[in-house]
Amino acid sequence: MITGLLEKPVFATPLVVGLLALTTWGVTRSPRSIVLFMLFQASILVLYFARIPRGPKTLLTAVTLGVLMPVLGTINAYYMEIAIQVGIFVALALGLNIVVGLAGLLDLGYVAFFAVGAYSWAIFGSPQANQMFGGSAFPLSPWWFFVFLLVGVGVAAGAGILLGLPVLRLHGDYLALVTLGFGEVIRVLANNLDKPINVTNGPKGITPIGRPPIFFAPLLRAVGIDPSSNVTYPLYLSALVLLIVGVTVLVNRRLEDSHIGRAWEAIREDQTAAQAMGVPLVRMKLLAFACGASFAGAVGVLFSAKQIFINPESFTFMESATVLAIVVLGGMGSQLGVAIAAIAMIGGTEALRELDVLKEVFGNGFDPTQYRLLVFGFVMVLIMVVRPRGLISTRQASVHLVERKAIAGTLVKEGHG
């Protein structure tokens, strides 16, 4: 029903405008409400996926990202931290959606590619590289950050191919176990590569990691805005995250509607039938792992720059499980569903912090955030019972079903049924 309304410009335009206006008003009235801010972010995603004429859509996007988001960021700086975290998980989930949702390859070690991208910038964007090569040439200039976004994409894609090569003949539970092991191998390597050559600094982690420069800082100073303030820089980071998410969504859409995307869907439905129809399984599987991993690599570079400090404990199995849960809850293959599920899961964790009223019932020692996994487990069971295909099922499934019904109806009319 939601996707149907978004496909019709007559209903989509007032729906999106109403959502943006209502959530913006709610945030300004309750500046500490994380739930309302999550709904505002969900409205931005609805705006992106809604079928609205280009002119009004461009204007709404410019007003939302150029005016509303900065204003809300000044109301509560914590909102920007949540927005960046949500954007990172949206990009990760969209990358994993290629591997799991489109190609049907169950990957439980996706955090490994995230870690590879993060360490690629952390090592060279900090003095850590001096421990490897000697001298004092590092850290690199902060401007190299933009180059390492592409380096992270390439390195993570290479890691995806390395993972894909030994698992080409595996599927189902066996594939899940091997990818889980790969994720743990990367974490253990990061934990132990501090000798004989100190590459990752082991469990101590790497710090300080260079942050990306604000290239338009002179313009901000000219209008009297401090580029390094506690509000300006988070806004800048959130804009970078939105840019990466936008590129990820665009590439996902192009791939999904291409012959590569169709080949992935064929592999997901039936590998044997796909191979019989001429789909090159080896090449398509490797391409799925490489494409999905590349997005995680770019996000990892941004994550390390944002955190300034990373260590192996930043890339545990729980991160992979969270991203996979987002893909399943949103609907495998559905970009809008995955994005909304990411906002719901990350925002839900923060929303639990608002349940301070429960401390009056259970005592001050009660922490609602400790029960987030219990809540997520209950929500996943509920979704699987009520909506087995996720929050928003894929559009292709509906199209194929309609086509099959039409073909069946034609055969019956011709007397073949």
Three-state SS across 112-127? HHHHHHHHHHHHHCCC
DSSP 210: P
Cis omega (within 30 of 0) on the bond before 56?
Answer: no
What pLDDT is attached to residue 394?
Answer: 63
The whole-angstrom separation of Cα 194 and Cα 401 is: 55
What pLDDT is attached to residue 149?
Answer: 92
pLDDT, one tens digit per residue, over 155-177 is 999 999 988 888 877 777 788 88
What pLDDT is attached to residue 371?
Answer: 72
What pLDDT is attached to residue 407?
Answer: 41
| Whether pLDDT at 258 is above 60 | yes
Q: What is the DSSP string of 57-93?
A: HHHHHHHIIIIIHHHHHHH-THHHHHHHHHHHHHHHH
Residue 119 region, left (φ>0) first, then alpha (ψ -120 to 50), else beta? alpha
The tokens 């309302």 sit on which residue? 36
| Whether pLDDT at 397 is above 50 | no
Higher-scoring residue by pLDDT: 3, 287: 287
| Whether pLDDT at 390 is above 80 | no
Tell me the pTM: 0.83
What pLDDT is attached to residue 404?
Answer: 43
What pLDDT is attached to residue 80?
Answer: 81
Domain extents in the chain: 1-76, 79-357+366-413
What pLDDT is attached to residue 332?
Answer: 79
Confidence class of residue 114 from pLDDT cuts 50, 70 and 90?
A: very high
CB count in 10 Å sphere of residue 3: 17
Average pLDDT, the chain: 81
| Overall average pLDDT of the 195-206 stretch | 88
CATH 1.10.3470 fits 79-357+366-413, yes or no: yes
Indicate the range of 121-135, 146-160, 377-391 predicted with least confidence: 377-391
| Overall average pLDDT of the 198-208 stretch | 88
Structure tokens at 224: 């009297």
333 phi, psi to nearest 5 deg: 95, -10
Confidence class of residue 16 from pLDDT cuts 50, 70 and 90?
A: confident
Confidence class of residue 4 from pLDDT cuts 50, 70 and 90?
A: low
The whole-angstrom separation of Cα 186 and Cα 113 is: 9
Structure tokens at 5: 């309304």
Cβ atoms 202, 193 nearer than 8 A: yes
Q: How deeply is 158 buried, as exposed, middle or buried, from its count of CB atoms within 10 A (0-12, 13-18, 19+)?
A: middle
Q: List 206's β-bridge partners, or say none.
A: 310
Highest mean predicted confidence (pLDDT) among 228-232, 257-261, 399-403:
257-261
Higher-scoring residue by pLDDT: 140, 78: 140
Please report, for residues 88, 109, 123, 394, the alpha-carbon distance to residue 237 in angstroms, rounded to integers and kept in the order given. Answer: 11, 26, 20, 31
What pLDDT is attached to residue 150?
Answer: 93
Q: How deeply is 125 buried, as exposed, middle or buried, from its count of CB atoms within 10 A (0-12, 13-18, 19+)?
A: buried
Percent of the chain with pLDDT strictly greater than 70: 86
The whole-angstrom separation of Cα 344 and Cα 212 is: 28
| Overall average pLDDT of the 241-258 stretch | 87
Q: How deeply is 214 buried, as exposed, middle or buried, from its count of CB atoms within 10 A (0-12, 13-18, 19+)?
A: middle
Indicate the range of 22-26, 80-84, 153-157, 210-214 predicted with least confidence: 80-84
What pLDDT is attached to residue 151?
Answer: 93
What pLDDT is attached to residue 64?
Answer: 84
What pLDDT is attached to residue 408?
Answer: 43
**Distance between alpha carbon 284 and the CA centroid of its chain, in Å?**
22
CB count in 10 Å sphere of residue 352: 17
Beta-carbon contacts of 53 under 8 Å, excluding residues fewer than 6 positions away, are 9, 13
| Overall average pLDDT of the 399-411 stretch | 44
pLDDT, one tens digit per residue, over 356-387 is 556 656 666 666 667 777 777 787 788 778 87
| Whether pLDDT at 302 is above 90 | yes
The whole-angstrom separation of Cα 390 and Cα 147 is: 37
